[in-house]
Amino acid sequence: MSVSVLDRLKTSERALVPALGALEVLNTLIEEAKAEQARNPMTVDELLAENDRLARYGVRQAGKLGIAPKDVSRIIHDHRQSRKAQQPVLKTPPSRQRPGNLLNLLNRDREGVAL
């Protein structure tokens, strides 16, 4: 991401996000970053250096929160499980169901519909 895009995020435009609508501002910044990447693509070395920098940053932030490397898999698993529990079960409307679909047959059986 360009320095100009990052500077805009760090300074005045941060205050504009709630006022103008976060989606519009973020879309503009994303488009500007894509255009700059097209004009001035990162080299492989730059990409690897950025990856290393972000990995070190992640380790520092995790350390501040008391998260050890051995805890990461468990935290990710717990987070995914909590998200699954929050997601509503979407049912296919009867008009869209195909009679031969095994999943539909199983759903009907669970709902107490005799086959």
Please list the pLDDT of the chain residue by residue as tens digits (115 residues): 455 655 665 665 555 545 557 778 888 889 999 999 999 998 999 999 999 999 999 999 999 999 998 999 999 999 999 988 887 766 666 656 555 555 655 665 555 544 4
Helix (DSSP H) and strand (DSSP E) numbers for the chain: 6, 0
Q: Which two tokens stand for residue 89?
A: 């079960």
Q: Is the model's pTM score more than 0.75?
A: no
Separation between Cα atoms, residue 109 and residue 87, nearest integer Å = 22
Q: List, in order, residues 6 or more apart from 5 with CB less than 8 Å away.
A: 29, 32, 33, 36
Q: What is the CA radius of gyration of the chain?
A: 24
